[in-house]
Homo-oligomer: A and B are copies of this chain.
Amino acid sequence: MERVPILKIGDILLVSIQVDMSDQTAVQLQEDLAERIVATGCHGVIIDITALDIVDSFVGRMLSTIASISKVLDAETVVVGMRPAVAITLVELGLSLNGIRTALNVERGMELVAAARGDEWDEVDGDEDVETTATT
């Protein structure tokens, strides 16, 4: 079985998807990624799909699942490198990749992760205020 490698760069885990994803490969990637997020304490996951000619509903769902898992483990997910044709096909298929952030390339993805972290801290502060109000 093929295993998608996960590369750690600073505070970010980088996954470059190049092979056709089977059920097994997708599940394995989700497990590996969850383990690596916990092991490294990384706060960002960047998934590069430059190599993908097509993103079908299966891959779309996989990306959503990864984003959800990462979110639970306190990491932002950004999908980068989507080809124009893939974007067009996605829209035509009605797959809007809900809840997934996208960026043009890895560098912009990294900026987005950093920015998202900033936003989140604001949100956390907000939540804390609300909780304080609720408990008093």
Chain A residues within CB distance 8 Å of chain B: 2-5, 7-10, 14, 16, 18-19, 48, 50-51, 81, 105-107, 110
> Which residue among A4, A9, A14, A19 has the maximum number of chain B CB atoms within 10 Å of its CB?
A9
How many copies altogether? 2
Asked if residues B51 and A3 are in contact (CB atoms below 8 Å), the reply is: yes
Q: A18-B19, A19-B18, A19-B19 are in contact. Are A8 and B51 (CB under 8 A)?
A: no
Selected A-B contacts with CB under 8 Å, 18 pairs: A2-B18, A3-B51, A4-B18, A4-B51, A5-B18, A5-B48, A5-B50, A5-B51, A5-B81, A7-B50, A7-B81, A7-B106, A8-B105, A8-B107, A9-B9, A9-B107, A9-B110, A14-B14
